Chain A
Amino acid sequence: MTTTLTERYISATTGSLPLETQSDVRAELEASIADAIESRLEQGEDPAEAERAVLTDLGDPVALAASYTDRPLHLLGPRYYLAWWRLLKLLLAIVPAAAVGGVALVQVIIGAPAGRSSGRRSAWGSPPPCTCSSG
């Protein structure tokens, strides 16, 4: 019982780490968590509560994994933020105009055949000539 929650926590942490460090981090975390639980038990805590408290203190396993790998928890750091923001503003100016222009152009191109086909369709409104000749 007690091992499953810890095991799940450790697996959630180590799963996203590079393969070569996974087993080492796993073994180290197992010892650290066991040590922390043990010290709480010595103070007379309930085993299940002690385990829960220790894991809660360690926090979100994904955040822990991120700090093991030095992986930032944001997509854009300060280094690229301004470049990204300028590009975004530029694209916001260009893309909608280009899209409107593109759609208008396509409308013009398909507009003519569509008119012709609709004309043909109105001609088919009357019975086709072949039916008349066979009958």
Chain B
Amino acid sequence: MSVGHGSDEVQREDLRRLAARAEEAEGERDTMKSRYEDARRETRAARRRLEAVTRASRDFTKSARATMGGQYELEGELREGLARERAGRGEAEESLRRMETLVDRLGVIIWEAEVSESGGVERFILVGKHCEEVLGYPRSRWFRSAGFWMEAVHPEDRDRVREAYGSAVREGVEKRVEFRVFAADGGTLWIEDLVQPVENGGGRVRGVMVEVTGRWEAGEALRESEERLRLTLDAARMGYWSLDLSTHEATRSTRHDRIFGHEEMLPHWSYERFLEYVHEEDRGFVAGEFERSQNTGEDWEFECRIIRADGEERWIWALGSVLLLDGGEPTRMFGLVGDITERKRAEERIHRSEERFRLLFEQANEAVFVHGLDGIITQANELARESLGYPGEELRGMNVSDIEMNVSTDGFEEIWREVLRTGDPVVVEGVNRRKDGSTFPVEVSIGRFEGEGEPSILALARDVAERKKAEEEREAALDRERRASEKIAFLGEASRGLASFLDLDGTLAKAARLAVPRVAEWCVVDVLEDGGNKHRLAISFQNGGETETRLEERPDDEAPEPVREVIRSGEPRLVERVDETHLEGIATDEEHLERLRGFGLDSYAIVPLQARGRTFGTITFARNDPSKRYDRESLSLLGDFTDRASLALDNSRLYERQRHTAKVLQRSLLPTDLPEVPGLDIAARLRPLGEGIEMGGDFYDLFEASEGRWSVVIGDVLGKGPEAAASTSLARYTLRSVARSEGVPSRALESLNAAMIEQRGEDDRFCTVLFGNIRQNDGGFTLDFASGGHPLPVVLRSDGSVEEVGRHGTLLGVYHDPEISDSNIKLAPGDAVVFYTDGVTEARKDGELFGEERVMESISSCAGSDARGVADHLEERLEEFSGGALGDDAAILVVKVDGESGVG
């Protein structure tokens, strides 16, 4: 295949460029691969980090929840305990106070004494201050001698009194006794005495005396009050104690001793002993308070740790009230003590747990929020504040929707409700917004938080920007690698596919088909013809599952505007998203618009076809699948494909143009119809080399040179191509004009020789020509002819004999003095003369030439055939011989005289 000279260099340049591009693409692919590997490694590392963090936060959430749960329980218990304690204490205190008030108001005498089993008072320990008022004796009298009392009692009642006191001690029960007493002023008073043994107090009793000369009710009330006190004390699990401030000896209830770890009452107890039980770290404080209360008369109230008899550390609360006697001197203190260890421990546990929670909360690796169902944030840790850029306490009170972009859109409220209901944590993706407005992606773990009050939402937010970035990069790298591979594979296929076509239609169709569906759902390959007035197209599109291809032609004014624009500018055009107005701009008519709508055009690209510095067409790629929309990167691949197509299409165009030109020229060079010559039967065959791509150098002509004289010409310009064609037309037209005036063939050829030498340009142009004149003569014809270097004609007589006639002459166009001679033969009816070019005799097969012998043979076997028959037969023999192999051009011209001679 031959292409015009000047474009070889450009073509080679195109090929070099394409080869370089292919190499580049390979290199790109390697880079892509290694970058992808890196991205993969990074992602794996990021994933491991994320897993670790997730685990840590899950652990935290678990322990936080456990702690919260535990704390809640503890708090519940504590609340109950506190309530009870408070109630108990309150009531106990109240009772004490009430009793004191009563005592005060009613002038009741409280006493305590050691009494024997026989009822004799051995010693008074305590006597209330009202004794002086009621009985008139100074208090000191009681303590000086115990016998004093019995003496004050009316002698008639002494037995009864002794009996009451004694049985109280003996039986351990409460006894009431009424008796008369002599007052200091000599008067007699009736006394009612309520005697109680002090629990396990040995012979100790306690009593309350009331002057009952008309005040009975007061005693009742008091008794009730005491009773209530006892009950209250029991309920509060408190112990009662009474301390002599001078001896530091104490009496107490059973419960008191139990608090200090003794199931059985100890025989003795004192303040000092008490201190021994106190935790050494608290002793100083407790003793100090003791001193202070004695000095100030204020209550001695404190909490401290004790080491119980069994070694266990416990917490106690104690309240001591100072009893003032004798002008303000504190003589006694009595009070309560209670074990508050459980409460204290609970408090501590909560404190510790709170501490722990606080720690975890603040030091978590994630931002932690606590908020209610309404979204109001109640707690936020340091990281939360930091990551969002809110200082101090700002976050509290804000709504989560101010922070988390997707709260409303992604149904977070639903999620919260669900989490609160089930307690199962949930992980969601979100986007957090900082105070400055910037955003970052997060992963949020949402759990149930049980603190005080209603359960709320605990949200841990992890910044996943890094992970997202790694994921995105990995996706992008994978995508790039995939695209690079696809691109290379596709271009390789395109190159191979396009290389094999020569004819333009075939190349157009192939190019369009290659693009669908790999890079387009619709492809139009459009090439300009006819100076830009016409478009030749191949259209390929998906129809059902198949690709359909059509060839079309349309005039330039029917081409869509974008296509013409690209041809004008030489620049590709990309439309990533097509809308309705755009469609209207593209469509050339209603039908076209309907088709575009029907196709669902989504995006398209028009790439110019360029070669040898000019734009000669376009390829339009169109997609209707939005997921495969074209972008700037696709343009690069489409451009590479179009480059390859450009090369192939340009070659095809050139080939076609050459062939077309050749045909046109050839047609103009040769007589399309052989003229009708009366009396002659004429046939011609011209077989140019290479199917018309080359213009052959062989030619023939037949014309009426003058009245009754027909000139016949057959020749061979030694060469091929347009230059040769120019020589053949020179030869033909020179002979045509010379022959009019020059009747002698040799002279006509000499003229041609001179003309050729004169016309000789850069290249020597030689030719061989056989020229003859045919005239009617005596019922037949005569042929005068001369040869300038050309094979001699063969005459076929009607009897079947053949002979070569004429004399060889010098080939034309070289020498100024050619030797050319004329010959003359007579042709009778039925005779034929065959002219041919050396393409016939020099046809080769395996080194053997067709040769003159075969020519003669072939012609002689055609005796009786008409001119066409002879020509056909010779041509057939020639084709047969050379087996279709390309040789030289061959021309055959047969002139037969009509009529028959002899044979019918």
Partners in one complex: no
